[in-house]
Structure 1
Amino acid sequence: MPHPSAGPTRSLRRDAAPADVGGAGSRAPLRPPLTLLVGTGLAALVVTLLVAVTIGPADLAVGEVVRSVLAHVGLREADVPRLHDAIVWDLRLPRVLTAAAVGAGLAVAGAVMQSLTRNPLADPYLLGLSSGASLGAVAVLVLGVGLLLPVAAFAGALLALVATLALARTGGTLTPTRAVLAGLAVSQLAAAATSFVIFWTATGDSYREILSWLMGSLAGATWSSVTIAAGALVVVGTVVLLAAGRLDAFAFGDTAAAALGVDVERTRWAMMTLVALLTGAMVAVSGAIGFVGLVLPHAVSVVTGPAHRRLLPVAGLAGAVLLVWADTLARTVFDPRELPVGIVTALIGVPVFAVLLRRGRGGTWS
């Protein structure tokens, strides 16, 4: 398997094949209508959210969850026991909503990065964002000011982005290969700095807190986390979806995209910056959660095809559902102990990716 630093890769491609674009002598495969895919995804997400909130040590019913939510938004009188209402509104609902927003954001960011770099092994953390965010987060954790963790993580991700793009531009035009290599360099530097900070300053219980965050955790999710993650998803996701046609053009290479009227360098800069903002917001509230942004775009494209107008919304919904269930498993399987959700997504993502690899032999990924 090629390393991401190899730049554009011919293996595992989910780029548009002749069958996908309806070239001469080919027949476009039949795909489910987008409305059906989105409607099914929305229904699955609503059911997932309602059921996930009921799962935990306290025995809750779906009806209680619905009544609690309706009461808090002013649509009915509160008739849920106060303890159950607090569990729903203050503990579980912010967590599952944050998980949904983070899962959707990572899936969308992964799909965009794979298109911009023409690298099927790209994920949202390719530009060193995860390592930069980790450095910022660890710095405030060892200083004992955990309340500033989201701000520090987001700032670290943005600094990593600036360093990556500046390094990539030192050799001239920003290209996928330069961006990938610069991102790897910045990622390694930030990871080394993070390790040094932990080695030099972390003591006692701070090790466990730092490790949990580095492996991805939604345990500290609040309504502020929901606002950060959902706000970034709505704003950036809308802009990216409106640019779906330009993202499709990148599948055929920079020369072909330019011939189609796309300002390649400006579009790549703008899209990478947007993806960095989206990823930074997600990492700031959840830590680094792997495999969602790598696997989901490939898995969903089997159903949607490579067109981003179809791929992005369906990947977002699938990522939301996946991460909610992964986090539910993380917090309940070994109760009262809690696994970092990044462990669960890796355990799910590796087998799924292996299946996709096997199915892709000789197909649209070859």
Structure 2
Amino acid sequence: MMTVTMDEQQKLKALIRYYIDEENKVEKLVDYLIRHETVGLEVFAYLGFDKMDELMFQPVSRRTFIRRMPFYFHKPSKELGDIAELSQYIYYSLEFNKSNYGEQLEDFYCALERLFYDFEIDVITILNYTVKQRGRVGEIQPIYNWLHYLELAQKLRIEEKTPTRFIVEYNNVREMVGLEPIIYEISEMYTGEYIERYGNRLRMDGIFPCDHNNQPILKWIGVRIKNSKRIYVNVNDKLKGSLFVEITPRTKVWGLNVYGTDEDGSDIWYDLYTGPLLMEFDHAVIKDRRVAIGMTQKQVAEAIGASSRTYQKWERGETTPDGHFLLRLMNVLDIKELSEITKIQDVDDI
């Protein structure tokens, strides 16, 4: 049993009263803490509170319990600005079926303690700031990113604790200390589709970091764009929305990891759009396909209604078949997609 003086008891009561407003429960908790060095789940039933889920609480030392009372006894209030609760982070983000669940829970509570005690941020802000920034309830990773931002900002003597556009300021401080920024990849719009065309304009959806002029910061976005006429965004206050590209005949767009990473986990840039002036007839393909199906040049030429001389020029790359003959070639050589018979200019030439 812990030996405490009357003065220490009064200080403990004063602290507990800040989180529990019923005097009889205050007295009971002080009595419990004096008698126990380790606080178990039963303390909540002992105090007459609703049963605490064991997923949210595991036995902790007396000192740790006291430090975490601001979170254990927080009562969400929409009037005070609460849109998220402690339980949502734990239920939605922690993997309770994993053997290291206890470590996950402890890491989360330690992060909350650091935000509260080291950076002096109130509980309502802690539970709600990243939700208001991201628009998703219960995501723990943004909490960890925020804590990391605060640690870096402290070293850089940046005083802003809750920047209006967190993802932008977080990447700024990461780059200031020499860390790689977070790259925001575009989202799937439809099944397997990441880009949509409207006339001379392309659209992609996702989260798009923007500067103070609301211009997209492309180095932090998982797209590469060359030879566009204009690039702009239409996003909400969480920087979620659409990126638009006004195209030219030589515009090229790639998307980062839209169809998955490489086998070793490394990044892959996939072609999403190629302007018509970047596409060329691949004369080597028709020869390869002709040989594969066992036809002579003369046979192919006769099958499509062209002269042997004209066809030979196509195979040698001296001339290019027009649309009329191209369709016939694809049919005879069993080429199903136009992409099979075209090649794209080398990226360095764009």
Length-normalised TM-score, structure 2? 0.21
Highest Rg: 1 or 2? Answer: 2
Greater relative contact order (CA < 8 Å, ≥ 6 in sequence): 1
Counting strand residues as a fraction of each chain, which structure ranks higher?
2
